[in-house]
Chains A and B, each alone.
Chain A
Amino acid sequence: MTQPYELSLTEAARALADRSLSPVELTRSVLDRIAAVDPEVNAYVTVTADAALRSAREAEREIAAGLYRGPLHGIPFGLKDLVDTAGVPTTASSLVRADHVPTADAAVTARLHAAGAVLVGKTHTHEFAYGTTTPQTRNPWSTGHLAGGSSGGSAAAVASGTATFAIGTDTGGSIRIPAALTGTVGLKPTYGLVSRHGVASLSWSLDHVGPITRTVRDAGLVLGALAGHDPRDPASIDRPAEDYGCGPGGDLTGLRVGVPVNYYFDRVQPAVEEAVRAAVDDLTALGAEAVPVEIPMAEYVRPTQWGLMVPEATAYHQASLRAVPELYTEDVRLLLEAGEFVPATDYIRAQRARTLMRAAWLELFHRVDVIAAPAVTSTAARAGQEVIEWPDGVREPVSDSYVRLSAPANLTGLPALALPVGLDGQGLPIGMQLIGRPLGEATLVRIGAAHEGGHRPAGVLAPL
């Protein structure tokens, strides 16, 4: 018999709406699952069990009274510990903020509360989101492997059934990387679509907030609750609300799917390439047309990403790096210190490179509707593994390899969806990435859901 924690958001919402399941039953099931498996996975920094049950009871009363708020009402979720929650510790998984208890909610926290969602806890991040491994959290598909990061706790929670959905942040791939490595769905929205107000920044010009879910349909539902103008975030886009539901159809006739001929399949594990190319074949079988595309300015992705992120991160931490440097973990402290010595002209040069890169990418979208590519070069690395060795002899740091294919969507601000497309020979998940034109989230959800619809069952939990 299916336990409530196993339900996808879409399935749970349906059961809550027709009152065949109560928010309290669902929340208790998720909290019991946390007690059972989180000691091994360590997705959570803080579990807010009592408050969650209070919220669930309130949702139960409201739904019983006919005050159903929508598909997130009564749904348990995990929130990356970078995102402020009034009265609940928000540590950024760092000793620097060990005692930080915000007095106000972040914009996304407030939006999820307004939608009636039930916060079950705060999830681990690589310290201050400055890294892509989240070493304290384990991959639910194999606890000897990493969950990826920096939203590793959010992805591990969704994959292990300890949250029905979760929220992550993405500066160089931090939603899509752990989603790909844990067999979940991660959606980095268009830059500015979701407010970052109340979210600790890693790099203002690259930061995004978005959902991690079991299915593509679920991601569309969460995005619908998160998106909206917020004048407190200077990047926020003022535009009418949109429906990110994908409709019933799986026909992709007329859609052009760009398949990169460079960059995205370089130094990629064979199992990853094979699964992603097979997924593209699935899309063409549904009516889409595959179009070869050349990725522009590929050799400038890494220096542009570093040229922006490194000095912006150091600027954010400038005061605490002087006050309490010993409280940072060594890898993060070293990068923050080194960032003090990047000349302003190098930073501006990266901004200028970004202008050209964004324009060149937008040109691509005259010829295609989306680009399909691997989300990450490889499946999950072993815990403690520091480098990936490629057949050409190159030894690439795990973090560099993880960011390599996801960074372009941060630099260009384009929306990108990571979705599971299979397992490797070790049984570890493989993720595909769909990159769309600005504000093209509905198209990404439509294509992702069509692929998902052809591969039942979607949203399978890790075999813990």
Chain B
Amino acid sequence: MATTDLAPADIARLAERAGLPLPPDRLPAVTATVNAIHDVLRTLDGLALGDTAPASAFDAG
């Protein structure tokens, strides 16, 4: 639920921690995509979830 964008340096540090090779020339595009995804996911901030359990598995029938 963070409200500030990540910077390329943040992504570089997190990528290193995750063991993801991310050359410097990829950082601008990846950072922009991460922030765009985050903006979309932030919409869920408006949803009152209460005690709702995750649908990690469900019986569709």
Contact code string B27-53 (vs A, CB < 8 Å = 1, else 0): 001100110011011111011010011
New A-B pairs, 13, CB < 8 Å, besides A297-B47, A300-B47: A299-B46, A300-B44, A321-B20, A337-B26, A340-B18, A342-B38, A348-B56, A350-B44, A352-B49, A353-B44, A354-B54, A355-B55, A414-B60
Q: Which residues of B contact A299 (CB under 8 A)?
A: 43, 46
**A356 near B52 (CB under 8 angstroms)?**
yes
The interface on chain A, measured as residues whose beta carbon lies within 8 A of the other chain's beta carbons, has a size of 45
Give the complex CA separation of A352 and B19 in angstroms: 29
B25 at the interface (CB under 8 A from A): no
Q: Which residues of A contact B42 (CB under 8 A)?
A: 303
A267 at the interface (CB under 8 A from B): no
The interface on chain B, measured as residues whose beta carbon lies within 8 A of the other chain's beta carbons, has a size of 35
Give the complex CA separation of A234 and B43 in angstroms: 30
With A322-B20, A337-B30, A340-B18 known to touch, is A205 a contact of B56 (CB < 8 Å)?
A: yes
Give the complex CA separation of A43 and B40 in angstroms: 33
**B34 near A341 (CB under 8 angstroms)?**
yes
- Nearest CB of B to A13, in Å: 29
A113 at the interface (CB under 8 A from B): no
SS of A interface (majority): helix
Give the complex CA separation of A348 and B43 in angstroms: 14
Q: When the two chains form the complex, which single residue of B11, B49, B57 contacts A353, counting CB atoms closer than 8 Å? A: B49
**B33 near A338 (CB under 8 angstroms)?**
yes
With A337-B30, A355-B52 known to touch, is A306 a contact of B61 (CB < 8 Å)?
A: no
A152 at the interface (CB under 8 A from B): no
Give the complex CA separation of A205 and B58 in angstroms: 9
Q: When the two chains form the complex, which single residue of B18, B37, B54, B59 contacts A338, counting CB atoms closer than 8 Å? A: B37
B9 at the interface (CB under 8 A from A): no
A351 at the interface (CB under 8 A from B): yes
- Interface positions of A from 309 to 341, Cβ below 8 Å from B: 310, 321-322, 325, 334-335, 337-341
- Nearest CB of B to A424, in Å: 30
B7 at the interface (CB under 8 A from A): no
Q: Which residues of B contact A304 (CB under 8 A)?
A: 44
**B60 near A352 (CB under 8 angstroms)?**
no
**B59 near A349 (CB under 8 angstroms)?**
no
A168 at the interface (CB under 8 A from B): no
